[in-house]
Amino acid sequence: MIRRVVWIGGCTRRYTTTTTATTGSAAKKETPLTPTQFESIQEMLRVDQAGELAADAIYRGQLFALKETSPMKPLIQHMWDQEKHHRVILDTLCANNRVRPSVLSPVWYGMGFALGAGTALLGEKAAMMCTEVVEEVIGVHYNDQIRELVKIPDNESAQTLAQVIKVLRDEELEHRTHALQHDAKQAPLYDPLSFIIRTGCQGAIWVASRF
Ligand SMILES: [Fe+2]
Ligand SMILES: [Fe+2]
């Protein structure tokens, strides 16, 4: 479970940072981030918030489109519940740190829902293929961020954020494992569809970090 709330800078842009434990212990001063590090972390939070919003929409779309009797529904509901929790974490981090959401948030939500519903309409294996590919891309993306954050070892907020992202990363990779265990690779048109979804996700990450 996430035990700490990261507070990074805020709107004053003075680049002073504090980390506050949810247990209520006193906030503690730490080595300031450089302006570049501050901007980089804001960008990370923006793209991650957009990604978790889209993930929420994907699983909502899958549940919407799958037949009521589908045996995949409990698993997808479980993964959706975890994505909703991820979204709350990112929304809180962004609000605490005055990070503006991606201006394309409604687009990410709509595209996520369409992707989830569209693949689920092709069948359960296609829904699992969607999950496998999306979660793999997100796992790589989170690993890239963790590598960047561990380069700032003397800043407790950066390190706490790295720990938060590790928890999210582990759950995304669990989702990928679930998908592989439920025949994702046997989906119809696996190669072209997975290529399109992977490329689309990578492009969306690039756009959401900037806009
Ligand atoms: Fe997630
Ligand atoms: Fe996920």
Residue 43 assigned to a binding site: no
How far does residue 173's CA lie from ligand 2's centre (Å)?
7
pLDDT on residue 13:
31
pLDDT digits (tens, 9 = 90+) for 164-209: 999 999 999 999 999 999 999 999 999 999 999 999 999 999 999 8
Which-ligand-closest: CA of 116? 2
Which class is domain 39-210? Answer: mainly alpha
How far does residue 111's CA lie from ligand 1's centre (Å)?
16
Which-ligand-closest: CA of 83? 1
In the predicted structure, residue 127 carries a pLDDT above the cut 70 = yes
Residue 172 assigned to a binding site: yes
Residue 182 assigned to a binding site: no
Residue 148 assigned to a binding site: no
What amino acid is encoded at 62 in this protein?
Answer: Q
3-state secondary structure (DSSP) of residue 152: coil
pLDDT digits (tens, 9 = 90+) for 78-98: 999 999 999 999 999 898 888
How many H-runs (helices) and E-runs (strands) does the chain carry? 6, 3
Q: Which helix (H) or strand (E) holds 6?
A: strand 4-8
Query: From CA 131, how far away is CA 150, in angstroms rounded?
Result: 28
Which pairs count as long-range contacts for 159-163, CB under 8 Å and 24+ apart, including other chains? 160/4, 160/6, 160/19, 161/6, 161/8, 161/41, 161/44, 161/93, 163/4
Running DSSP on this structure, what letter comes out for residue 185?
G
pLDDT on residue 32:
82
Q: How confident is the model at residue 7 (pLDDT cuts 50, 70, 90)?
A: low
C-alpha dihedral sign at 40, 42, 45, 47: negative
- Record the tokens describing residue 151, joined without a space: 């380069």
Q: How confident is the model at residue 28 (pLDDT cuts 50, 70, 90)?
A: low
Among 83, 90, 77, residue whose Cα is nearest residue 127: 77
pLDDT on residue 80:
96
